[in-house]
Amino acid sequence: MDLRQRVFAAFRQRFGEVPEFFARAPGRVNLLGEHVDYNEGFVLPAAIDRDTLVAFRKSMSLHSTLLALDLDEETSFDCQTVLERQDLTGAELSVWARYPAGVMWSMNTAGLGTPGMEAVFASDVPRGAGLSSSASVEMAFGVAWEKLGSWTVAPIQMAKIGLKAENQYVGVNCGIMDQFASACGVKDRLLYLDCRSLEWRTVHLPEKAFIVIADTSIRRSLTGSAYNERHASCEEAVRILQDYLPGIRTLRDVHVDEFHRYASRLPIIVAKRAQHIVEEIARTEQAVELLNKNDVVRFGELMNACHASLRDLYEVSCPELDVMAALAQSLPGCYGARLTGAGFGGCTVNLVAGDAVEAFARDLAIGYTQKTGLKPEIYICRAADGAGTETG
């Protein structure tokens, strides 16, 4: 039974009627520009053809009842109880429920109506794998409430709504990349986003190259990880460097040569974190030029350099991610491989020649199991369109 059939059947069983609408929003994978979005840098993600799918209809009451099919858990809340992060019984909202509830809260603070809804949702975006499953949930419920509320915002504004929910309601100090990719994805294209101005354009992905995602099966909790510590280190670097570079606002404003001139003024750990950010922003800018020239080989080399930087400077890798990336880089047809997402577990993203992709996926899975004893999931993906709704 596919995802749509699952949520349709569960909705009919739970609510006794068929859903009026479906909302879908994709996960995302980032090819370059890791951890730079909250430093106002440049990122190069793509929405992928794995989604959160919501079957929904307008409720006859003012509250919303949501069934998380994958977890077999249900919650109900309204515009008042979400202010206290509580359900209708007064109990604290569970972690999963804070994502849709946070979107409701964020919309309400923007003056956007969120009518009560009955909804069932499920996802084939792996949770905790670095593929932005949380952003896909936020964007799916975002477009669902947009539909029920009979108002419209641009996709980039929907991304901002989701970002506010994640930052201020869920409590993760992420940047806008995840919500942006899920809201604004374009089929068969990469997305090049300036995280300061929010100007963006699409970039051609060479036809001979396929995106392969390799899930290590190692999971991490983003809110419980060192993600927020990395964010704080970047802010500390800016505060110190402003004494020498008074015109900077974020690490995006620091050129590579400037950083190395003043790096010794920073605490050792802070300098390592900042070096990754400054050099990663430069890599991403260079990568777009290479893609425009169809130079996929050099683009892959930048992906490999990114992984080394995330491993050694930003220190967000783990042994399993390192094994997966090294194996991929050694296989025929692989242009580049690196961890993707916040790190501390999750997935690698690999750019692979089309005529080698099937053998690559097979050999990567076999080699990873031999080295770790773990069974990975390998996904051959296509870039997909962003969030939207359709009639049930």
Domain range for 30 is: 3-205+384-391
Instruction: Tell whether the model's pLDDT for residue 54 goes beyond 80.
Output: yes
Residue 224 included in any domain: no
- Is 117 within 8 Å of 330 (Cβ atoms)? no
pLDDT on residue 292: 92
326, β-bridge pairs: none
pLDDT value of position 143: 98
Tens digits of residue pLDDT in 162-221? 999 999 999 887 778 899 999 999 999 999 999 999 999 999 888 789 999 999 998 765
Tell whether 238 is covered by a domain: no
Chain mean pLDDT for the chain: 94
Q: How far apart are CA 139 and CA 155, in angstroms?
A: 9
Quickly state the pLDDT bin for 1 (edges 50, 70, 90).
confident
Find the helix or strand (DSSP H, E) in which 203 lies: strand 200-204
Residue 47 lies in a domain: yes
pLDDT category at 226 given cuts 50, 70, 90 is confident
Query: Considering only 68-82, 123-137, 177-191, 372-386, which range has the smallest mean pLDDT?
Result: 123-137
CB 151 within 8 A of CB 113: yes
Examine residue 371 and state whether it is found in any structural domain, yes or no: no
Among 116, 28, 119, 130, CA closest to 77: 116
Instruction: State the catalytic residue, choosing from 51, 178, 215, 253.
Output: 178
As a 3-state breakdown, the chain gives helix, strand, coil percent values, each rounded to 5, of 45, 25, 35
In this structure, is residue 358 part of a structural domain? no
| Longest Cα–Cα distance in the chain | 67
Domain count of the chain?
1
Q: Which two tokens stand for residue 88?
A: 């209708």
Q: What is the CATH number of the domain that holds 31?
A: 3.30.230.10
Check residue 374 and give its pLDDT.
97
In a domain, 322, yes or no: no
Joined together, the tokens standing for residue 313 give 């400077």
Q: What is the per-residue pLDDT for 175?
A: 79
For 86-126, how does the pLDDT look when each residue is reduced to its tens digit (9 = 90+)?
Answer: 999 999 999 999 999 999 999 999 999 999 999 999 998 87
Q: If we measure between CA atoms, which residue out of 147, 136, 88, 138 comes closest to residue 114?
A: 147
3-state secondary structure of 246: coil
pLDDT digits (tens, 9 = 90+) for 317-337: 999 999 999 999 999 999 999
Identify the band that residue 341 occupies on the pLDDT scale cut at 50, 70 and 90: confident
Query: Could you give the CA distance from residue 347 to residue 251 in angstroms, rounded to a whole number?
Result: 26
Residue 311 included in any domain: no
Q: What is the pLDDT of residues 348-360, one digit of tens each?
A: 999 999 999 999 9
Residue range 283-299, pLDDT digits in tens: 999 999 999 999 999 99
Confidence check: pLDDT of 77 > 80: yes
Q: Is the pTM of this model over 0.85?
A: yes
Query: Which region among 137-146, 215-224, 294-303 has the lowest average model confidence (pLDDT)?
Result: 215-224
Is 178 part of the annotated catalytic residue set? yes
C-alpha distances out from residue 177 to 77, 194, 208, 214, Å: 28, 10, 26, 20
Q: Is the pLDDT of residue 223 over 50?
A: no
When pLDDT is averaged across residues 50-73 and rounded to a whole number, the result is 96
In a domain, 242, yes or no: no
